[in-house]
Structure 1
Amino acid sequence: MGITAALGPTNTGKTHRAIERMLEHRSGMIGLPLRLLAREVYDKITARIGEDRVALVTGEEKRIPPRPDYWVCTVESMPVSREVDFVAVDEIQLAGHRQRGHVFTDRLLHARGRLETWFMGSESVRPILEELVPTADVHTHPRLSQLRGIGNLSLGALPPRTAVVAFSAEEVYAIAERLRQRRGGAAVVLGALSPRTRNAQVALYQSGEVDYMVATDAIGMGLNMDVDTVAFAGLRKFDGVEVRELEPGELAQIAGRAGRAHNDGQFCCLSPAGPLPSAVVDAIETHHFPVMRRVIWRNSDLDFRTLESLTASLRARPPRRVLEPVRAAEDFSTLVQLSAREDIQALAKGQASVELLWEVCQIPDFRKLLLDGHVELLANIYRQLASPRGRIDPAWMAERIDRIDDVEGDIHTLMTRIAFVRTWTYVSNHRRWIVDAEAWQARTRAVEDRLSDALHERLVARFVEREGARASGRATREQRRARKRTRSTTVQRRRPQLDRAAVAEGPFAKLLELDLRPSAGSDASGAVRDDAWVQALVEAPHERFALREGGWIVDLEDSEDAPELARLGRGVDLLRPEVSLLVGEALGAGARARVQRRLVAWTRDAVTRLLGALRSGAADALSSDARGLVYQLEQGLGTIHRSAAEAQLRRLDGRDRKRLESLGVRVGERLIWAPKLLRAPALRQRAALCSAALPKGVSVPAPPGGAVSFAPNPEVDAGAYTALGYPVLGDRAIRADMIERLLGELARLDGGAGVGLDGREGAKLAGLVGVRREQLEAVVEALGWTRDDDDEARWRAPSPRSRRARRSSQGRRR
């Protein structure tokens, strides 16, 4: 089991490398420091391999398909008891964090993959790694771009694509308001925002509707945005215990958000803050910081026999000097307060009851109330769970959720309600605590979505100038685009109706071939779909979409129209087509990117489901040669010429052949195919994928239901018909299984004197493959049979040598 430590500053590609490495394994798990970053990585992975194989697990969000191969989690939510081949933990230097550090330290000490483990973080954690994980192979990665300090700037002097970082919500709001007055507006990103609101705010910035972002240091942990400059509005923060100066390493983590990939970035202080001492600026630019000497630790081997034994085990002293005991853990403080109550003491008797109390204590205080208020809520929850019923009272829970299901109010009120509903979302993800967990998860998610949409609207209304003229006398790029769209729409309304018959007879007939239908981002009148439509599309189950002939992805929500959302195009291979959106530009770049990711993920899952039989667990037991054959069969969408896999076939033993048969693979004289993929639903998908790989305007239609052959389009490469499951013989595309049946019948009829294709035998053979009598000879000739030199009415089978030569020739051509 190999352990790798990938260390270096921000923008070195550490997380990207870890994701790529994880996907090289058959299973894996990655722990990330923020739920927003976990969602970003989940979106990235599912856009590559689909959603059926990837689970997302955070405190408030669980998306777990039936059989996931990969797990994307917050570090606290990693199901470490689950065995996977690869495990990675990001930002491992957070093991030194006062409140959360003990979780990262525990992962450093105990989280391991069966085959490989990665820890990514700052170079400052190297001494800790060398002491606690001496077998780790440490790699240092340089930053991909330069980062430089540019001193102090006033708000008016900030260049576009700047993120201003403040350390309180009040300061974020104040700066965003000033940017609205001076520069037309800013997006606002705080750690307390829901993922839905955060995504909508980032979309404002990423699409160019606003050129500035005001954020807390939540953006410092790997969130990827197109930021050129980071400006610090202050250099002190409240860390949950005290107000203190930011350390150079923390400043570097945030400043490192400037620049992406090979684009250089810069950082500064926003007047009157700062300036940064020259030594700190130099440390950030050169990425040299004091090394960590100790990390935070808490005992993970807990004793649940009694409340006293649990408390004692949590207070256990660390076994090594490099480990510093946690001093202010919220869950432990909650446990101490609850344990002091007589009613809780009476209920917490026995290991199961004590363990349940500790689970309840770990419900986070999203509301950030005084500890007493949070403790009172948890005491109420525990009393219900420890009662004979063993579940939270649905009426009691519904009453509290109803109180916060209200989209009226200001920004602060909505954020408070979102924090409250996050608590209930966390609770609803504990299936043992409530009746009908799925329904409660849907309920809390719907409430959070409504509140998030309302919060986004309030943020835009308050911090984004929507008037035509701004104080600076200029309009944003989005406003200019909107005016162009308005002018275009006005012109179209005045335009007379097109006389298509007249055009068809004139020199502009080709214009009729253009697709001028309204895009899926608009309705028939051209009105722009709203954010709710985009969110519903992104969160929709797979059943909402379908793949139609020609490679169109359609939305089945509207059963009458089934509007087209996107079209598949040529990708790196048949299994990974490109997805070209038809969603209108009016949605904005951020919304388009979210829809694009969803449809790409759906497409990847559609391919996986199509080829599911070939990727079942039985495939794991195959030899390398058999797996190579299955790989070729996948690449051919379920049908290949035997000649392409002849080398592997020669090396297969009896067990491999039986396992291939159990996977539904049939090996014939000329073809290798999967019979299940010749059924009508699979053929429709195969036709769409084949069409995507062809030049624009050329497509492969799905064969009519039950058809054993049809006339191929001579402009389409014969390989496309093989991938469809209908290889071309002569002037007919014939279903793979029927070609093998034809070969079997020819062999049966051939008694050494050849086969006559005239008369009853010829009619039977022609009917078998669905061709006319006069077409049969071309089909038989394409199979390598030749006329008898002495009797032209009879056909001779190819000799073994000529069959081998023909197969070799076919293999070279393909």
Structure 2
Amino acid sequence: MGIMPATFRHMAPRIPAQPRKSAHTGANGGGVVKAVLGPTNTGKTHLAIERLCAHSSGAIGFPLRLLAREVYDRVCAIKGADNVALITGEEKIEPKGARWHLCTVEAMPSRPDLAFVALDEAQLSADPERGHVFTDRLLHTRGREETMLLGSSTLEPMIKALVPEAEVVTRPRFSTLTHVGAKKLSRIPPRSAIVAFSAEQVYVMAEMLRRFRGGAAVVMGALSPQTRNAQVAMYQAGEVDYLVATDAVGMGLNLDVHHVAFAGLSKFDGHRQRRLTTVEMAQIAGRAGRHQRDGTFGTLAGAGGTNPEFTDEEIYAIEEHRFPPLTRLFWREAEPRFDSIATLIEDLESLPPRPELATPPQAIDLAVLKRLAEDADTASSVRGKRAVERFWDVCRLPDFRSQGEETHSRFVARLWQDLRHGYLGADYVAQAIAQLDNPSGDIDTLQARISAIRSWAYIAQRPDWVLAKDEMSARARAVEARLSDALHARLTERFVNRRTAVLMRKAGADASLLPVRLSDEGAVLVDDEPIGHLEGFRFVVDPLARAEDRRLLLAAAERHLPGLLHNRAKALAKATRESRGIEFEDTALVWQDTVVAKLERGRTMLAPRLKPDVALDRLAPTDKAEVVAALDGWLQTQHQRHLKPLLALDEASRDPASGPELRALLLHLVEAGGVLVREGSGLDRLDAAQRQRLKKLGVRIGALDLFLPNALRPGAMQAWHRLARIWGRPAPLPPETMQPVVHAKIAPAGYRRLGNESLRVDLAEKLLQAAHATRMATKARRVFLDPAIARSMSLSTAAYAALLRAGGFRVHMGRSLPEKAFGPPHPPLWDWRPSRREPATEPERPKPPPTGAFAALAELVAR
């Protein structure tokens, strides 16, 4: 029997009770009353649900909101959501005409028209915090046809004394509980729950389990029901094999737990540090073993520097389910008078009417009432019966934040000042809720916000407090859901290492048993959990893996890598043969963002050597040979595609028939990427046959440059530039699109520098040809050369003028206009005067066929 926190007290406004008989008898005359008693795992709650559904109407009161919600979902599946109500302090789903009600005990309806009523965990009537509420329901809440009281066997003497008309039914436990002694945390078996008695100890245990076993779900009373359910669902689904909890786990949570380990056997109960009672121990240990599967319990060796141990008497009591019977239940007047605050306090502190009943310790609602009654300003604002009753309802606001009597009373006092004259405005409540709607922050921050929003969810449920009740309560529930999701994510992020959990679950001590596969992105997965990734053909352990994971990860990877690498080698070879997904990055061949080979110097500049990446050495010899052959074939294909003109020049440079002069010029052309400045190239040393052979190879003889037009294509220039870098001949990289003009301090390969601009050499030749064509057409000594065609290439007028001067043209500026003369200025005129040092040659053009007598004579001689 765990002692539940005061935050569950008075979770909803009390529904008016049916007319009572004397508390001395507790009788109600009418339906059958049954007390179904026994230890945990006896099917008591399941029986109550069956009986509820067998009646035409009814209600069950549960000690926890989350239990009420769980059973609500089950009954909805049987009876339909339109016929089932859920009533708690923070949530109320009550369809019109609902006949079956699932509630917290504080919110149980005491309507005489309900055919069936059940009270779960009735032994909590002896709880110092909430006992008086359970006692009131035990004595006075009855079903028209049947009433069922569920609880521990320790309650039997009190049932016989206070409810003599009740039929007592004792149910045995379905499975046995066995003590197995103390175990170290590293030896705790899977599907275990470790129970601690402080948040700090829970966090320490969960963090250690994360390191050794992949993580744990966390269950604490301070969590919201939604977060608790999410953590429990993670455990139930097998995502983690361990649960770390406070004693809140002992109350009603149905879990697949095989073993319960106590990290301690004492707790702080709000007043002092004390040892757990045997009933509390049994309530927690009873979570082990469900239905007919047996369970075990024990302690945690070395927990916090101590070694808690059960006494022989405690072990016997837990295993045999033998506990001292309850000798009294806590009672407080449930229907006090509201004549004045003093009268209300007097009734709440009145003595019980029977010796079996005892006055409980001062609960926080009574403590807040008495504290505010001592405040003159607050007490003076409470006048009349209705005001006193309303004031008492405000004082019963649960302390969800667990901040203590003083802090909570200040919050209640502020709330009363707002409620004393009427309702809370929707804007005010909406603003308070919105301030808490922030899912960021750490675990403690989110827990604080959830506690605060639960207070506002309780407030928003009161129709006599909030005007827009439905809207505000929906907003509060939505914020609590978002905060709970965020808290669940933080807990999972901090205390769960999914990778290690999968490894331990699948492999145990044998890494060869791990089912390993490779994702499309190169991640090495075990049951969809990444343990590392392949960078090319090198396995890299996930950098987030802890040191203790690495040995198992590497062992798993080594066991399965040969097969994975074989498949990856086949994929690379296929992609290479299909020219799909492989490309150059500088001088490296890259596949799927990984370098698989590099180019290095070969015998000649156009015949580089392929050097496979060292990671390919991990492949089997046959796989490596296949990959290297595919890469080499792809490289040859790329060179034939982009460097075919240069390869033809290279082949001709080795042909003795070309002659030494031509061979030397061709070598220089190849090394320059197919573009060579005419001046000093050795062109003047070639005879007519060699010039003709040069033209057949595709080389154009321009006024300023010799160049291969096909070598000026972007792919060819990029390929040549890559090879030039291997041979240590860096040059500015030409633009990928080979645009006409670029602005660079040094002219890229294939461009001619003209001042601050560089022009592609084939376009430079085109402009010079156009200039000569204009000169020949006009047959004038000086001609006007329109720069429009140059500007269409994005070449400036100054750069165009520099090109003309390099081609042998000279400019003559027009004369200035005489004084008092108007009109356009004279344009600059150009004439062609080649330099004597190296006369520029006009571009060669086809000669017209000879005519006249000398032509006829030449033809006769030739015959």
TM-score under structure 2 length normalisation = 0.55
* Counterpart contact for 2:453–2:476, Cα < 8 Å: yes
Alignment of 1:31 onto 2:65: no
Residue of 426, 438, 452 corresponding to 1:406 = 438
Report how far residue 468 of structure 1 moved: 6.4
Opposite residue 420 of structure 1, the aligned amino acid is: A
* Counterpart contact for 1:384–1:393, Cα < 8 Å: no
Equivalent residue for 2:299?
A: 269
Structure number with bigger Rg: 2
After superposition, residues 169-180 of structure 1 pair within 5 angstroms as 169-180=199-210
Distance 1:405 1:35, change over 3 A: same
Residue of 318, 331, 337 corresponding to 1:297 = 331
Equivalent residue for 1:726?
A: none
Opposite residue 206 of structure 1, the aligned amino acid is: Q
Report how far residue 57 of structure 1 moved: 1.2
Residue of 94, 97, 102 corresponding to 1:64 = 94
SS of match in other structure, 1:119: strand
Equivalent residue for 1:725?
A: none
Equivalent residue for 2:116?
A: 86
SS of match in other structure, 2:424: coil
Report how far residue 367 of structure 1 moved: 0.5
Distance 1:482 1:366, change over 3 A: farther
After superposition, residues 287-436 of structure 1 pair within 5 angstroms as 287-387=321-421, 390-436=422-468
Report how far residue 476 of structure 1 moved: 9.4
Q: Take 2:173 and 2:431, find their aligned partners in 1: how far apart are those partners?
A: 52
Q: Take 2:505 and 2:146, find their aligned partners in 1: how far apart are those partners?
A: 57
Equivalent residue for 2:222?
A: 192
After superposition, residues 722-737 of structure 1 pair within 5 angstroms as none
SS of match in other structure, 2:81: coil
Report how far residue 117 of structure 1 moved: 0.5
Equivalent residue for 2:43?
A: 13
Q: Take 1:39 and 1:152, find their aligned partners in 2: how far apart are those partners?
A: 36
Residue of 126, 130, 140 corresponding to 1:100 = 130
Alignment of 1:4 onto 2:34: yes
Residue of 460, 463, 466 corresponding to 2:495 = 463
Report how far residue 406 of structure 1 moved: 1.2
Distance 1:475 1:365, change over 3 A: farther
Q: Take 1:66 and 1:473, find their aligned partners in 2: how far apart are those partners?
A: 49
Once the two structures are superposed, residues 283-302 of structure 1 have per-residue CA deviations (whole angstroms, 9 ceiling, x without a partner) of 11110000110111101131
Equivalent residue for 1:136?
A: 166
Report how far residue 447 of structure 1 moved: 1.0
SS of match in other structure, 1:138: strand
Gaps of 5+ in 1: 492-814
Report how far residue 472 of structure 1 moved: 6.4
Alignment of 1:439 onto 2:500: no
Residue of 272, 287, 301 corresponding to 1:257 = 287
Residue of 175, 178, 200 corresponding to 1:145 = 175
Q: Take 1:480 and 1:56, find their aligned partners in 2: how far apart are those partners?
A: 51
Opposite residue 493 of structure 2, the aligned amino acid is: A
Distance 1:470 1:44, change over 3 A: closer
* Counterpart contact for 1:26–1:69, Cα < 8 Å: yes
Q: Take 2:362 and 2:155, find their aligned partners in 1: how far apart are those partners?
A: 22
Report how far residue 386 of structure 1 moved: 1.2
Q: Take 1:31 and 1:198, find their aligned partners in 2: how far apart are those partners?
A: 20
* Counterpart contact for 1:469–1:475, Cα < 8 Å: no
SS of match in other structure, 1:139: strand
Alignment of 1:448 onto 2:480: yes
Q: Take 2:194 and 2:176, find their aligned partners in 1: how far apart are those partners?
A: 19
C-alpha root-mean-square deviation of aligned residues, in Å?
A: 2.4
Once the two structures are superposed, residues 373-399 of structure 1 have per-residue CA deviations (whole angstroms, 9 ceiling, x without a partner) of 211111111122111xx0113343333
SS of match in other structure, 1:405: coil
SS of match in other structure, 1:426: helix
Q: Take 2:501 and 2:120, find their aligned partners in 1: how far apart are those partners?
A: 45
Gaps of 5+ in 2: 1-30, 524-863
SS of match in other structure, 1:163: strand
* Counterpart contact for 1:182–1:472, Cα < 8 Å: no
Distance 1:280 1:120, change over 3 A: same
Once the two structures are superposed, residues 284-323 of structure 1 have per-residue CA deviations (whole angstroms, 9 ceiling, x without a partner) of 1110000110111101131001111111111111111111
Distance 1:71 1:486, change over 3 A: farther
SS of match in other structure, 1:52: helix
Opposite residue 420 of structure 2, the aligned amino acid is: A
* Counterpart contact for 2:239–2:498, Cα < 8 Å: no
Distance 1:483 1:413, change over 3 A: farther
Alignment of 1:239 onto 2:269: yes
Q: Take 2:425 and 2:125, find their aligned partners in 1: how far apart are those partners?
A: 38
Alignment of 1:41 onto 2:71: yes
SS of match in other structure, 2:261: strand
Equivalent residue for 1:554?
A: none
Report how far residue 346 of structure 1 moved: 2.0
* Counterpart contact for 1:210–1:476, Cα < 8 Å: no
Larger relative contact order, structure 1 or 2 (CA cutoff 8 Å, min sep 6): 1
Distance 1:489 1:438, change over 3 A: farther
Opposite residue 404 of structure 1, the aligned amino acid is: L
Equivalent residue for 1:660?
A: none
Residue of 210, 215, 222 corresponding to 2:252 = 222
Q: Take 2:501 and 2:247, find their aligned partners in 1: how far apart are those partners?
A: 32
Opposite residue 71 of structure 2, the aligned amino acid is: V
Distance 1:76 1:483, change over 3 A: farther
Report how far residue 487 of structure 1 moved: 5.0
* Counterpart contact for 1:181–1:471, Cα < 8 Å: no
SS of match in other structure, 1:142: coil
Opposite residue 461 of structure 2, the aligned amino acid is: N
Equivalent residue pairs, number: 488
After superposition, residues 510-659 of structure 1 pair within 5 angstroms as none
Distance 1:394 1:205, change over 3 A: same
Report how far residue 240 of structure 1 moved: 2.3
Q: Take 1:480 and 1:195, find their aligned partners in 2: how far apart are those partners?
A: 41
Q: Take 2:446 and 2:77, find their aligned partners in 1: how far apart are those partners?
A: 32
Q: Take 2:516 and 2:472, find their aligned partners in 1: how far apart are those partners?
A: 45
Opposite residue 461 of structure 1, the aligned amino acid is: E
Report how far residue 33 of structure 1 moved: 1.0
Distance 1:480 1:55, change over 3 A: farther
Report how far residue 364 of structure 1 moved: 0.3
Opposite residue 192 of structure 1, the aligned amino acid is: A
* Counterpart contact for 1:167–1:236, Cα < 8 Å: yes
Q: Take 2:519 and 2:504, find their aligned partners in 1: how far apart are those partners?
A: 24
Opposite residue 111 of structure 1, the aligned amino acid is: T
TM-score under structure 1 length normalisation = 0.58
Distance 1:468 1:138, change over 3 A: closer
Q: Take 1:141 and 1:201, find their aligned partners in 2: how far apart are those partners?
A: 31
Q: Take 2:111 and 2:57, find their aligned partners in 1: how far apart are those partners?
A: 14
Report how far residue 488 of structure 1 moved: 9.5
SS of match in other structure, 2:82: coil
Q: Take 1:118 and 1:186, find their aligned partners in 2: how far apart are those partners?
A: 37
Once the two structures are superposed, residues 176-235 of structure 1 have per-residue CA deviations (whole angstroms, 9 ceiling, x without a partner) of 000000100000111222222112111211111100000111111121111111111111
Opposite residue 210 of structure 2, the aligned amino acid is: R
Opposite residue 313 of structure 1, the aligned amino acid is: D
